[in-house]
A and B are shown apart, each in its own frame.
Chain A
Amino acid sequence: MKTVKNHFGVFAAVVLAVMMFVSIATAEEKSAVGLDGSTTVGPIGDAFAEVFMKSHNCSITVKKTGSGDGVAALIDGRCDIAMSSRFLKPEEFKKAVEKGIYPVAHTVAMDGVCIIVHPSNPVKELTGQQVCDIYMGKITNWKDLGGPDMPIVAISRDTSSGTYEVFHEKVLKKQNMAAGVEYVNANPQAYARVKTTPGAIGYVGLGFLDDNVKSLKIDGIMPTKQTIADGTYLVSRPLFLFTNGYPKLGSVIHAFCIFYLTEEGQSIIEAKGFVPMTNY
């Protein structure tokens, strides 16, 4: 019986066929650019990459694993551009210099971390201190804030996220969160949880606001493009792209890093819900 031999032959043929198909489908010389990092800046990176792959002949890989790993990947040389929703920490900077990497920051957009609740929640504004108390577990029911008698479900980004870092620094003043806070891995998850849970409170970037969640005024200021750009809103931050040294003029990386200054780049940034660096 030749069944086994035949089957192995079939296998080898399948593998070869697959590789042939793939090579025919993608047979071009391309330069490769790797992006890695924040899930907040991720949508901008995705959109820029899609536009770029069409106009320049290059292949761009975008991984969204969190600001921390993006910077670490840049330091290890595993990516060309790190997307980060926070600036480098001193240890990261030291490590980079040790390894001979000189990180250069390009600010592509501004973002605000908006506190969101379910639209059925009558609470319209909170103070920074109240939000801090909620996340530290001191306030546990909405009725203490003027809302309905519902337990507060506090939702946070996980600890290696840049959004978490900004929130942690500016709202919680670097104190630890309570044990009962639920952690989600990405902005869209936080948005989905708040959208479907009437008692939830969470924080997401400005780009994730829409009619299904309600954003609150913090300390009397509503997060809008204007208040974020001039820093009056409590939790506003710039979004960065880090490269190793200033990218060579004319390279794809350089074009990518200055894309946000073009009109097309700005309209993409606005379409994604962030605040462009100019002309707000």
Chain B
Amino acid sequence: MRTQIRQSLDKMFTAFAGSVVLLIAGVLLVVLVPMFRKGLSAVFFTETVEFRKLQMDLHDRGDERTLKQELERVAAARKPIYDILLAFSRGLDMEPRVKEVKNIYQQYGEYLNYRNTPKEQYTECRKQAKEIRDTILDALESMDKQVVLANLDKALAQKGNPTFKDTPVQHFFTVAEQYRKTAQTVDLTKRSEYLAGLRDVTAAIRQLFGPLPGEDEPPLPMDQYGATRMDMARKALHTLLWDEQWIADGPGKPLVKKIIARKTQFTGTELEPLFDRVEKNFNALLLPRHRFYWQYFIDDWVNSHYFGGIGPEILGTLLLTVLSMLFAVPFGVVSAAYLVEYASDNIWIKIIRICINTLAGVPSIVYGLFGLAFFVITISAIGKPCILAASLTLSILVLPVIIRASEEAIRAVPQTYREASLALGAGKFRTLVKVILPAAGPGILTGIILSLSRAAGETAPILFTGVVAMGPIPNFGTPAEWVRNPASIFGGLFQPTRALSYGSYDIAVGDRISMLVPHQQFGMVMTLILLILVLNVTAIVIRSRLSKKLRGH
């Protein structure tokens, strides 16, 4: 081949290799950046007055007087909107009228009983009243103006009937007259459309501002407050102002989404000005402000993560990883020291090394199976999935990592250290403990930090051995109890816990409610990644300082 071709091939090769590395760096960014962007909005966001109200109610945070003033201002701004809404719905709502008519009929029955009417007269009067009642009910239910007016006239014809003078039946006629007036002005054919649209509008208003004044407090916390964040408020505003409908595009084709302004659905009614009002005064209705919600990392969640933070999950992850380190580090460091210092090259040592490498290669789900079979079931002292079982499983998982890192660190200690120590008369064990381990300290520490990060991120081993999606914070008792019964300090170890890793899985595919709050989902994953990145960067920094020191020697 000609030299030029070979040289250009060489250049292409180099360029390709370089671009692959750039691609890998790009992939890292593509994976991390969206999660950080959306996750940070769980901590830095624009809040509304509803959020401040929530914080005050749940955690007593914030100034009570200013909050009260703000709530009054907001109530004043919202009042006209509520008035419009209520007036319109009262004009349209048939249910109270239907109930009223049925009530009147019952009252008439009681009235007759009270008067001790004889049986036949009772049956006859009730029958006539029932006819009037049914006519009015038909009028209330019908959409056709002619039918309504005809029925109402038929009912009102009975008005002069002497049987019903001074009886509750007179109320029938008042209701019929009132409705006659409404029926002549309101366009009844559109009533069902108005009702459906009104339902959506009321739901959107509730999402924005919380329960309407005069309504009972809803049972679920997520309905008790309006939109707590401006991004959710804007979404609710969008639902308020625009309606989505799926329109047929043609036979055999999927429906097409059409977006219609709700204002056009209610032209000519009292409800029309509501939309402009809400849109123009949006800020005055919600009083937004920027907020750094650092308590996100401490608070517990409310209502399936709709509100609140991820404090217990972080605590659970910390407990699990620190406990697993407590079990794994002594075994790991001692094993590594033995393998480097004392081991001779016989068959047992070969077996041990093969086993350590095998442990490193076992899939994490098989660790979970083993943890379930051994720590939870076979060791009856534990007996159920709990923190102890989960951390024991995690400690076996990270054991090979610690052994490998410690071995490298101990091997990296220069031979001169050992020789000098031996020359001064120290024995092998004393050398190990007082000279070599401290010298290998930073390397071992790097290994510990890396295995911490590995243990924090693992989900499969803890799935069946001790993690739950919702549960109380593990209870370790009070100092008073510890004095009485020292063993109770370990009571908390036998309870299951939540964790960041499992929580991220559960919130990504779990509750429908979590889908409504993507900032919470991304926030949890972001916290996990942040924790692990911090640990890894620390390890990298320690290692680079260590290598600089060694090179300096």
A interface residues, Cβ below 8 angstroms from B: 1-5, 7, 11, 14-15, 18-19, 22-28, 30, 32, 43, 46-47, 49-51, 53, 59-64, 78, 119-122, 143, 146-150, 184-189, 191-192, 198, 208, 211, 264, 267-268, 271-272
Q: Is B160 an interface residue (CB 8 A)?
A: no
The interface on chain B, measured as residues whose beta carbon lies within 8 A of the other chain's beta carbons, has a size of: 55
Instruction: Name the one of A43, A63, A122, A192 contacting B469, with C-beta atoms under 8 angstroms.
Output: A63
Cross-chain contact A208 with B512 (CB below 8 angstroms): yes
Known: A18-B315, A47-B219, A61-B468. A78 touches B384 (CB 8 A): yes
Contacting residues of chain B (399-455) with chain A, CB-CB under 8 angstroms: 437-442, 444-445
CB distance from A273 to the nearest CB of B (A): 9
8 cross-chain pairs, A with B, having the tightest CB-CB distances, nearest first: A59-B472, A27-B478, A61-B471, A3-B441, A23-B476, A4-B441, A1-B438, A148-B254
Complex Cα spacing A103 to B276, Å: 58
Cross-chain contact B218 with A267 (CB below 8 angstroms): yes
Complex Cα spacing A15 to B512, Å: 36
Complex Cα spacing A11 to B252, Å: 67
CB distance from B375 to the nearest CB of A (A): 15
Chain A residues in 8 Å Cβ range of B496: 61
Instruction: Name the one of B442, B471, B479 contacting A3, with C-beta atoms under 8 angstroms.
Output: B442
Q: Is B34 an interface residue (CB 8 A)?
A: no
Instruction: Name the one of A3, A14, A46, A51 contacting B304, with C-beta atoms under 8 angstroms.
Output: A46
Chain A residues in 8 Å Cβ range of B218: 267, 271
Instruction: Name the one of B220, B223, B509, B512 contacting A185, with C-beta atoms under 8 angstroms.
Output: B509
Chain A residues in 8 Å Cβ range of B255: 119-122
What is the chain A residue whose CB lies nearest that of B318?
A18
Cross-chain contact B257 with A120 (CB below 8 angstroms): yes
Cross-chain contact A43 with B304 (CB below 8 angstroms): yes
CB distance from A25 to the nearest CB of B (A): 7
Chain A residues in 8 Å Cβ range of B85: none
Cross-chain contact B254 with A147 (CB below 8 angstroms): yes
Q: Is B244 an interface residue (CB 8 A)?
A: yes
Q: Is B484 an interface residue (CB 8 A)?
A: no
Chain B residues in 8 Å Cβ range of A15: 322-323, 326
Chain A residues in 8 Å Cβ range of B382: none
Complex Cα spacing A216 to B171, Å: 43
Q: Is B280 an interface residue (CB 8 A)?
A: no
Residue among A2, A23, A46, A63 having the largest count of chain B Cβ atoms under 10 Å: A23
Instruction: Name the one of B252, B384, B512 contacting A191, with C-beta atoms under 8 angstroms.
Output: B512
Complex Cα spacing A63 to B470, Å: 7
Chain A residues in 8 Å Cβ range of B223: 271
Q: Is B538 an interface residue (CB 8 A)?
A: no
Cross-chain contact B509 with A188 (CB below 8 angstroms): yes
Would you give 7 A-B contacts (Cβ < 8 Å), ordered by A?
Answer: A14-B322, A18-B322, A49-B470, A64-B510, A208-B512, A267-B219, A272-B220
Contacting residues of chain B (294-341) with chain A, CB-CB under 8 angstroms: 302-304, 315, 318-319, 322-323, 325-326
Chain A residues in 8 Å Cβ range of B187: none
Instruction: Name the one of A23, A211, A268 contacting B220, with C-beta atoms under 8 angstroms.
Output: A268
What is the chain B residue whose CB lies nearest that of A271?
B220
Complex Cα spacing A24 to B219, Å: 30
Cross-chain contact A25 with B489 (CB below 8 angstroms): no
Known: A19-B489, A22-B476, A43-B511. A121 touches B441 (CB 8 A): no
Chain A residues in 8 Å Cβ range of B318: 18
Complex Cα spacing A146 to B248, Å: 13
Cross-chain contact A30 with B472 (CB below 8 angstroms): yes
Residue among B442, B469, B512 having the largest count of chain A Cβ atoms under 10 Å: B512
CB distance from A227 to the nearest CB of B (A): 20
Cross-chain contact A143 with B252 (CB below 8 angstroms): yes
CB distance from A7 to the nearest CB of B (A): 6
Cross-chain contact B512 with A23 (CB below 8 angstroms): no
Cross-chain contact A4 with B444 (CB below 8 angstroms): yes
Cross-chain contact A61 with B470 (CB below 8 angstroms): yes
Cross-chain contact B509 with A186 (CB below 8 angstroms): yes
Cross-chain contact B322 with A23 (CB below 8 angstroms): no
Complex Cα spacing A199 to B466, Å: 39
Chain B residues in 8 Å Cβ range of A3: 438, 441-442, 445
Q: Is B246 an interface residue (CB 8 A)?
A: yes
Cross-chain contact B512 with A63 (CB below 8 angstroms): no
Cross-chain contact B478 with A188 (CB below 8 angstroms): no
Cross-chain contact A26 with B473 (CB below 8 angstroms): yes
Chain A residues in 8 Å Cβ range of B477: 23, 27
CB distance from B89 to the nearest CB of A (A): 20
Complex Cα spacing A30 to B491, Å: 13
Known: A1-B441, A22-B492, A120-B246. A46 touches B470 (CB 8 A): yes
Contacting residues of chain B (101-138) with chain A, CB-CB under 8 angstroms: none
Q: Is B548 an interface residue (CB 8 A)?
A: no
Complex Cα spacing A245 to B438, Å: 61
Chain B residues in 8 Å Cβ range of A198: 254
Chain A residues in 8 Å Cβ range of B319: 18, 22
Complex Cα spacing A149 to B250, Å: 12
Cross-chain contact B489 with A121 (CB below 8 angstroms): no
- 1/0 per residue B502-535: CB within 8 Å of A? 0000000111111100000000000000000000
CB distance from B512 to the nearest CB of A (A): 5
Complex Cα spacing A191 to B323, Å: 38
Chain A residues in 8 Å Cβ range of B440: 4
Chain A residues in 8 Å Cβ range of B473: 22, 25-26
Chain B residues in 8 Å Cβ range of A143: 252
Complex Cα spacing A47 to B438, Å: 53
Q: Is B2 an interface residue (CB 8 A)?
A: no
What is the chain A residue whose CB lies nearest that of B514?
A188
CB distance from B361 to the nearest CB of A (A): 28
Cross-chain contact A271 with B219 (CB below 8 angstroms): yes
Complex Cα spacing A11 to B323, Å: 10
